[in-house]
């Protein structure tokens, strides 16, 4: 299970970011009547930074493993984890951008 989590780590970070951003905005909408209230914008911004950081950490962990892997499967898993973290980093930053346009 640990290896599956490692392979899918980037995707899981993206999932946490997406659900978190949607959840924060929805909660702000219900509580304050304004989905882009200042608290929500800051919340999503901080979540974006945290998730981007997690992706960078995953990349830092996976890339050396991919280079030093003993066999094809380990190389595949580490390389896949690195690629997933890279894609996730792109998606997380992209999805975090709307908070910059909020009023």
Partner 1 sequence: MNSETGFDPALYERFPTREPRPPAELEELKQVWRAPRGWALLTVVNNNYIGLFYVGAAFLFFVLAGVLALLIRAQLALPLNGILPQETYNQVFTMHGTVMMFLFAVPAVEALGVMLLPQMLAARDLPFPRLSAYAFWAYLVGGLCFFASIFFGLAPDGGWFMYPPLTSRAYSPGINADFWLLGIGFIEISAIAGAVEIIVGVLKTRAPGMTLDKLPVFAWAMLVFAAMIVIGFPAVILGTLLLELERALNWPFFDPTRGGDPVLWQHLFWFFGHPEVYIIFLPAAGLMSMIVPTVARTPLVGYRLVVLALLATGFISFGVWSHHMFATGMPPISVSFFSAASMAVSVPAGVQVFSWIATLSAGKVRWTTPALFAIGSIVTFTMGGLTGVMVALVPFDWQAHDTYFIVAHLHYVLIGGMVFPLFAAFYYWAPMTSRRPLSERLGRWVFGLVFTGVHVSFLPMHLTGLMGMPRRVYTYLPGRGWELPNLISTVGAFMIGLGVLLFVVDLIRNFRFTTGDGAGNVYGGGSLEWLPTGLYSARSIPVVRERYPLWERPGLAEDVQEGRYFLPGAATGVRETLITSTLRAEPQYLQRMPGPSAWPVLAAVFTAGFFLLLTVQAYGPGVVSGVLAVACVLRWVWETDRPMREKHVDVGAGIRVPTYATGPASHGWWAMVVLLIVAGMIFLMAGFSYVFLWSRRPDLWIPPPDQLWLAAVVGGYAAAGALAWLAARAARRPVSHVFWAPALATLAVAALACAYAADLGSWWAAGLRPDASGQGATVFAILAWQGVMGAAASLMPGYLIARAVAGLLSPVRTSTVDLSALFIGYLAAQGSLGALLVRLFPGGG
- # binding residues, partner 1 (CB under 8 A): 43
The secondary structure of the chain as a DSSP string is -HHHHHHTHHHHHHHHHHHHHHHHHHHHHHHHS-TT-HHHHHHHHHHHHHHHHHHHHHHHHHHHHHHH-SSHHHHHHHHHHHHHHHHHHHHHHHHHTHHHH--
Residue 42 contacts partner 1 per CB under 8 A: no
Range 5-34, binding partner 1 (CB under 8 A): 7-8, 11-12, 14-15, 18-19, 21-22, 25-26, 29-30, 34
Contact status: 35 vs partner 1 (CB under 8 A): yes
How far is Cα 98 from Cα 100, in angstroms, rounded to an integer? 5
Residue 49 binds partner 1 (CB under 8 A): no
One symbol per residue from 57 to 86: x for binding partner 1 (CB under 8 A), - otherwise; what is it? -------------xxxxxxxx-xx--xx--
Q: 92 and 13 in contact (C-beta within 8 Å)?
A: yes
Contact residues for partner 1, defined by CB under 8 A = 3, 7-8, 11-12, 14-15, 18-19, 21-22, 25-26, 29-30, 34-36, 40-41, 44, 70-77, 79-80, 83-84, 87, 90-91, 94-95, 97-99, 101-102
């Amino acid at each position: 299970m640990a290896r599956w989590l490692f392979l899918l780590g980037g995707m899981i970070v993206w999932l946490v970011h997406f659900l978190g951003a949607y959840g924060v905005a929805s909660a702000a909408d219900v509580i304050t009547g304004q989905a882009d209230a200042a608290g929500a914008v800051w919340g999503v911004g901080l979540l974006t930074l945290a998730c981007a950081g997690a992706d960078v950490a995953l990349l830092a962990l996976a890339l050396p493993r991919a280079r030093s892997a003993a066999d094809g499967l380990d190389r595949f898993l580490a390389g896949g984890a690195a690629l997933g973290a890279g894609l996730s980093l792109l998606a997380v930053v992209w999805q975090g951008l709307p908070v910059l346009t909020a009023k």
